[in-house]
């Protein structure tokens, strides 16, 4: 067993924190001594103990000495005080001889400082093991910490010929049950869910995540003309709701921000500590397409011939001018097909 093996264990642990740690990164840690795993831990939810400390406490609870042990951690340990003390100081204190890190933390408060501190303490440090896997795991965190704007994902349910509804706005259900269950898994990943006023008026969704371990989502509603103001809609009945509008109307149970420019909306959400947003409103998707980091497209086994297209704003005349994507993943549910993609302009 080598460094890649133990780091892969740490990455699997890190995934357990998905949806619970935002806007912090998912982090996993594994402690190895004499070739055996003696401690494991991961960052479980925002504000809780970090992965490194959980792994250390796990090992010590089993009676293990950490003197001379190796720690494998998926992200550079923190070097600053936040809701928890600096992990790097705890690692040094416990007498580790070696620390293997998948990737540096781009957070300006860390960004190599912990690596240098470990080296100065006489600890061997190795950086870059399974780095690309670690970057992919924390793509939301990396976007937010380096730009202070949310990671933007667009989710759409489409017919095979690319429509989100019929000409009369009928849309339930284009995809099958298993595809809709997959949507709940996606919602778990993101801090906020965004829809337009038409989605609220037509579907009256709760905009919640209905699977175990899912945190409450911030609900973002784009309502330029105030069509949902003081209506008896389910989305407004609990949780945090933010409405972006040009209307002078007032809403009960919602924070109202008079702004409708997509770029400025994302900047405001970032300033509020929202690291990611899943855009589910079909007709607003095109407005946010230039800012998209990922597309989650669900195709049902239906053809409409004519209907409502989510991408009419593109207005492409030449094939060479088309908006292009890179396909990342495909999943079949027999009556539906899931496609995960990212814009070709994304790194």
Residues catalogued as catalytic: 52
Reduced to 3 states (helix: H, G, I; strand: E, B; else coil), residue 328 is strand
Which residue reads 């908006």 in tokens? 323
Helices (H), the chain: 3-14, 51-61, 87-93, 113-120, 131-137, 139-147, 177-189, 197-203, 262-271, 285-288
Which among 235, 237, 232 has a CA at the least distance from the CA of 222? 235
The CA-based diameter of the chain, rounded to the nearest angstrom, is 70
Q: CA 330, 335, 340: angle at the middle one, nearest 5?
A: 20
Torsional sign, CA 34, 39, 40, 41:
negative
Taking the C-alpha atoms of residue 41 and residue 47, their distance in angstroms, rounded to an integer, is 15
Rounded to the nearest 5°, which phi and psi values hold at 296? -115, 105
Which residue reads 């490194």 in tokens? 52
């Amino acid at each position: 067993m080598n460094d890649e093996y133990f780091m892969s264990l740490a990455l699997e642990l890190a995934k357990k924190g998905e949806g619970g740690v935002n806007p912090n990164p998912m982090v996993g840690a594994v402690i190895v001594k004499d070739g055996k795993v003696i401690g494991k831990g991961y960052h479980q939810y925002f504000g809780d103990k970090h992965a490194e400390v959980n792994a250390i406490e796990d090992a010590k609870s089993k009676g293990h000495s950490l003197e001379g042990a190796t720690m494998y951690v998926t992200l550079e340990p923190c070097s600053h005080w936040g809701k928890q003390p600096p992990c790097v100081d705890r690692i040094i204190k416990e007498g580790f001889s070696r620390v293997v890190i998948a990737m540096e933390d781009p957070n300006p408060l860390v960004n190599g400082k912990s690596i240098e501190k470990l080296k100065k303490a006489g600890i061997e440090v190795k950086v870059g093991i399974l780095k690309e896997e670690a970057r992919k795991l924390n793509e939301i965190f990396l976007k937010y910490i380096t730009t202070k704007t949310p990671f933007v994902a667009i989710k759409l349910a489409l017919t095979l010929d690319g429509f989100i509804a019929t000409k009369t706005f009928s849309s339930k259900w284009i995809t099958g049950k298993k595809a809709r269950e997959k949507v709940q898994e996606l919602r778990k990943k993101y801090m906020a869910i965004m829809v337009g006023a038409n989605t609220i008026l037509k579907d009256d969704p709760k905009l919640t995540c209905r699977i175990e371990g899912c945190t409450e989502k911030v609900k973002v509603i784009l309502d330029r003309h105030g069509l949902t103001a003081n209506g008896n809609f389910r989305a407004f009945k609990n949780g945090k709701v933010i409405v972006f509008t040009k209307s002078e109307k007032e809403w009960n149970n919602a924070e109202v921000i008079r702004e409708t420019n997509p770029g400025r909306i994302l900047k405001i959400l970032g300033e509020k500590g929202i690291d990611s947003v899943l855009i589910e409103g079909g007709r607003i998707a095109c407005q946010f397409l230039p800012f998209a980091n990922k597309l989650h497209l669900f195709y049902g086994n239906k053809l409409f011939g004519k209907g409502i297209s989510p991408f009419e704003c593109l207005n492409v005349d030449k094939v060479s001018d088309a908006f292009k994507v890179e396909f990342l993943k495909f999943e079949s549910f027999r009556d539906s097909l899931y496609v995960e993609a990212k814009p070709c302009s994304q790194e």
